[in-house]
């Protein structure tokens, strides 16, 4: 099945708006589709590439057929973004460390 890939931003020498066609099997994973893109752009680090379909970032391990992607569809390519979950977990961790610090310092004054 032939898919069109549109780059949403400049990535190295690939300019925003560049389109290419790839021909993955419908049973292949998103990661395999990214490999097909890298065959056209050898310098491209596919671990940093994110494919988007209908506004949703695609999981690399999902199969194209499971995502409802069919011949003629358009995928978008961009640099992977940090997820909001990562920021949330980092914030929780920092708060946890601050609470531990606060309780450990307040307990040291009680013994005086």
- Whether residue 112 is predicted with pLDDT greater than 60 in this model: the reply is no
Q: Are residues 90 and 36 in the same domain?
A: no
Residues 10 and 22 in one domain: yes
Same domain, 92 and 74: no
pTM of structure: 0.71
Tens-digit pLDDT profile for residues 27-83: 999 999 999 999 999 888 998 899 999 999 999 999 999 999 999 999 999 998 765
Residue span of the structural domain in which 92 resides:
83-112
Domain total of the chain: 2
Contact partners, residue 14, CB within 8 Å, separation at least 6: 7, 41, 44
Averaged over 76-94, what is the pLDDT? 79
- At residue 87, the pLDDT reads 72
CATH number for position 36: 3.10.20.90
Same domain, 63 and 109: no
Q: How confident is the model at residue 103 (pLDDT cuts 50, 70, 90)?
A: confident
SS in 3 state form for the chain? CCEEEEECCCECCECCCCEEEECCCCCCEHHHHHHHHHHHCCCCCHHHEEEEECCEECCCCCECCCCCCCCCCEEEEEECCCCHHHHHHHHHHHHHHHHHHHHHHHHHHHCC
């Amino acid at each position: 099945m032939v898919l069109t890939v549109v780059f949403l931003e400049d990535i190295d020498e690939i300019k925003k708006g560049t389109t290419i066609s790839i021909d993955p099997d419908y049973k292949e994973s998103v990661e395999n589709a990214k490999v097909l893109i890298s065959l056209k752009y050898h310098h491209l680090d596919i671990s940093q590439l994110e494919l988007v379909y209908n506004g949703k970032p695609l999981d690399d391990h999902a199969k194209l057929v499971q995502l409802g992607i069919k011949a003629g569809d358009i995928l978008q390519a961009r640099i992977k973004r940090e997820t909001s979950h990562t920021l949330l977990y980092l914030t929780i961790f920092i708060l946890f460390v601050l609470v531990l610090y606060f309780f450990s310092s307040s307990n040291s004054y009680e013994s005086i």
